[in-house]
């Protein structure tokens, strides 16, 4: 049998569970997950390799109306990922049902040139009635392939994989078998810091933070990686909150991120964090480029 491969895009509202699903499918954390909307900023590629086939999943920012240059970049990233894939996986929150934002996405999906599969996610916390209602709305809107999953619990994912095999075509193994993402380690590590900061700061500091990984260097003994990163924020008051009393918040962010980084990198990590104010950075192309959001 010839080798098979193919690409799938994950599309859906902010917070619906796209990144959780991609991590579950590839079996490793490559895309950060928080309970705040619009967590994912870049397109993250996840790779699932088996002896007979390879599936490449494209995680995307949740679709919304852009408010600044970073937002525009995020929306373009999401729209670009609709082209040239075997199928689109459209995630809908089973508990919330089909909302206004879902309908806007559905309008755009009408233009898609490939099959669209609907994944009703969060079925672990939705009632059967809620899921049934969502499914009915989706069928009425013309979708016929609808599957219930829980990305969080892993429910329905092996069935999903089996189903997706049917969409693969004869093709090469694009990535080596041990590679689960095309993201460089330094970008994933910067994202891990951003995840912890978003988690720990809750709503005290709005979304406007960015993290740049300035340097990562393995010591000659091969045991410890020295990492230097900067958290960018937009206001003086935010800087104070991120640092915290006597540096306590920055310490908490650092030690939580360090644990994830050590697990990813497989060595001990010495993480040094700084906080800098960059006024309105989400509208400055040069800063966006620096952080890896290339225009
Ligand atoms: N109960 C439950 N929670 C889930 C499930 N999938 C995701 N979540 C939670 O939903 C929240 C958002 O998940 P993400 O994976 O970050 O969502 P996303 O679609 O990538 O969000 P953006 O990147 O902001 O567009 C997190 O708190 C997840 O733990 C699920 O199947 N069940
Ligand atoms: Mg995400």
Which residue spans within the chain are E strands per DSSP?
4-12, 44-49, 53-59, 87-93, 116-121, 146-148, 169-170, 210-218, 224-233, 268-277
Asked if 226 and 216 count as a contact pair (C-beta separation under 8 A), the reply is yes
The reported pLDDT for the residue numbered 295 is 57
The reported pLDDT for the residue numbered 294 is 67
Among 233, 235, 210, 197, smallest CA distance to 292 is for: 210
At the topology level, CATH places domain 185-290 in GMP Synthetase; Chain A, domain 3 (3.30.300)
The reported pLDDT for the residue numbered 32 is 81
Residues of the chain with pLDDT under 70: 81, 206, 294-295
How far, in Å, CA of 37 to CA of 279, rounded? 23
Atom of ligand 1 nearest to the CA of 37: 24
How far, in Å, CA of 151 to CA of 17, rounded? 7
Asked if 118 and 147 count as a contact pair (C-beta separation under 8 A), the reply is yes
**Ligand 1: residue whose CA is nearest its atom 12:** 15
**Ligand 1: residue whose CA is nearest its atom 9:** 17
The reported pLDDT for the residue numbered 81 is 67
- Where does residue 53 rank: exposed (0-12), middle (13-18), buried (19+ CB within 10 A)? buried
Q: How remote is the CA of residue 270 from the centroid of ligand 1, in Å?
A: 30
Give, to the nearest 10 degrees, the angle between helix 185-201 and helix 248-265. Answer: 140
Chain segment 128-162, per-residue pLDDT in tens: 999 999 999 999 999 999 999 999 999 999 999 99
CB of 23 shorter than 6 A to ligand 1 = no
Contacts of 184 (CB under 8 A, 6+ apart): none
Q: What are phi and psi of 248, to 5 degrees?
A: -65, -40
Residues having C-beta closer than 5 Å to ion ligand 2: 18-19, 39-40
Nearest ligand by distance to the CA of 195: 1
Q: What is the pTM of this model?
A: 0.83
Chain segment 169-191, per-residue pLDDT in tens: 999 999 988 888 888 888 889 99
**Three-state secondary structure call for residue 150:** strand
Contacts of 200 (CB under 8 A, 6+ apart): 249, 252, 253, 256
Q: How remote is the CA of residue 163 from the centroid of ligand 2, in Å?
A: 23
CATH 3.40.50.300 placement within the chain: 4-170
Its CATH class, for the domain covering 4-170, is alpha beta
Which DSSP string do the residues of 279-293 spell out, in sequence order? TTGGG-HHHHHHTT-
Residue 232 tokens read as 């960018």
CATH 3.30.300.20 placement within the chain: 185-290
The reported pLDDT for the residue numbered 47 is 94
How far, in Å, CA of 126 to CA of 220, rounded? 52
CA atoms within 13 A on the CB side of 100: 2
Q: How remote is the CA of residue 207 from the centroid of ligand 2, in Å?
A: 14
The reported pLDDT for the residue numbered 13 is 92
Q: How remote is the CA of residue 35 from the centroid of ligand 1, in Å?
A: 7
How far, in Å, CA of 166 to CA of 182, rounded? 24
Asked if 30 and 188 count as a contact pair (C-beta separation under 8 A), the reply is yes
């Amino acid at each position: 049998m010839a080798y098979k491969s193919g690409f799938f895009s994950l599309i859906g509202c902010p917070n619906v569970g796209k990144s959780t699903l991609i991590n579950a499918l590839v079996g490793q954390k490559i895309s950060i997950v928080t309970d705040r909307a619009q967590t994912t900023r870049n397109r993250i590629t996840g790779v699932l390799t088996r002896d007979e086939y390879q599936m490449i999943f494209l995680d995307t920012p949740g679709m919304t109306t852009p408010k600044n240059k970073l937002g525009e970049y995020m929306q373009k990233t999401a729209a670009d990922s609709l082209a040239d894939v075997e199928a689109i996986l459209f995630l809908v929150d089973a508990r919330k049902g089909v909302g206004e934002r879902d309908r806007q996405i559905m309008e755009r999906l009408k233009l898609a040139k490939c099959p669209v599969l609907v994944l009703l996610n969060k079925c672990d916390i939705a009632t059967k009635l809620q899921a049934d209602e969502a499914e009915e709305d989706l069928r009425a809107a013309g979708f016929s392939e609808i599957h219930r999953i829980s990305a969080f619990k892993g429910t329905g994912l092996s069935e999903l994989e089996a189903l997706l095999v049917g969409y693969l075509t004869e093709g090469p193994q694009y990535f080596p078998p041990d590679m689960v993402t095309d993201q460089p380690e330094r970008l994933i590590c910067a994202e891990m810091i951003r995840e912890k900061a978003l988690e720990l700061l809750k709503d005290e500091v709005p979304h406007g933070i960015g993290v740049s990984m300035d340097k990562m260097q393995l010591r000659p003994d091969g045991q410890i990686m020295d990492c230097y990163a900067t958290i960018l924020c937009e206001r003086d008051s935010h800087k104070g909150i991120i640092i915290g009393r006597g540096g306590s918040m920055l310490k908490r962010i650092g030690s939580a991120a360090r644990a994830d980084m050590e697990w990813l990198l497989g060595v001990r990590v010495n993480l040094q964090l700084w906080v800098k104010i960059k006024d309105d950075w989400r509208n400055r192309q040069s800063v966006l480029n620096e952080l890896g959001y290339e225009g």
